[in-house]
Structure 1
Amino acid sequence: MEIAVIGNSEFILGFRLAGVQKTYAAETDERLIDYINRVLGDKEVGILVLEGKNMERIPQRLRTTLENSVKPTVITIGGGEGGLSMRERIKRSVGVDLWK
């Protein structure tokens, strides 16, 4: 399983330095949507990391798809909540609430 990161060039820089291979600089809404669809179709990606503020830039239908996605599991970082909490995502992926 691989990790994919989509965001602006500053956001993905740290992930590149950490060795993440699949990083996509999406400066426009069109690029953002294109990269998200590309990653959703990539069977090797297990985790998709998005910049939190980007969730508001994508259409509602795609946002719903991301919020309900188990593989890849979508994690938003920074810029507010951006969808489900980490606890809810882990619960959805694993099937149990690990905090109980």
Structure 2
Amino acid sequence: MEIAVIGNSEFILGFRLAGIQKTYAAEESDAIADLVTMVLDDAEVGILVMNGEDMAKLPLRMRTTLSDSVKPTVIAIGGEEGGLSIRERIKRSVGVDLWK
């Protein structure tokens, strides 16, 4: 399982420095939507990290798909609309609340 990160160049820079190889830079919402589709089709990706503001720009249908996705688990960082907490996403994907 690999981690993929989609966002603007500033957003993905830290993830690149941390050693994550599947980082995709996109500034326009159309490009972000295309990259999300590509990552969803990649069987090796287990976690998708996105900026919450970029996620809010996606079409409603795609946001719903991302919110309901278990594989890859989608984590929105920042922005007002981050969806479920990381704890809830881990609980959904693993099936157990690891904090208890």
CA deviation after TM superposition for structure 1 residue 41, in Å: 0.2
Match of residue 71 from structure 2: 71
CA deviation after TM superposition for structure 1 residue 81, in Å: 4.0
CA deviation after TM superposition for structure 1 residue 59, in Å: 0.6
Would you say the 8 A contact 1:55–1:83 is kept in 2? no
User: Normalized against structure 2, the TM-score is what?
Assistant: 0.93
Q: How does 1:32-47 map to 2 (within 5 A)?
A: 32-47=32-47
Percent of aligned positions that are identical = 73
Give every structure 1 segment of 4 or more consecutive aligned residues whose post-TM-superposition deviation is greater than 3 Å: none
Segments of structure 1 that go 5 or more residues without pairing to the other structure are none
Paired residue type of 1:11: F
User: Normalized against structure 1, the TM-score is what?
Assistant: 0.93
Aligned pair 1:91/2:87, yes or no? no
- Count how many residue pairs are aligned between Structure 1 and Structure 2: 100
Q: Secondary structure at the match of 1:63?
A: helix
Aligned pair 1:54/2:54, yes or no? yes
RMSD: 1.1
1:30-62, CA deviations, whole angstroms, 9 ceiling, x for partnerless residues? 100000000000000011000111121001111
Match of residue 7 from structure 2: 7
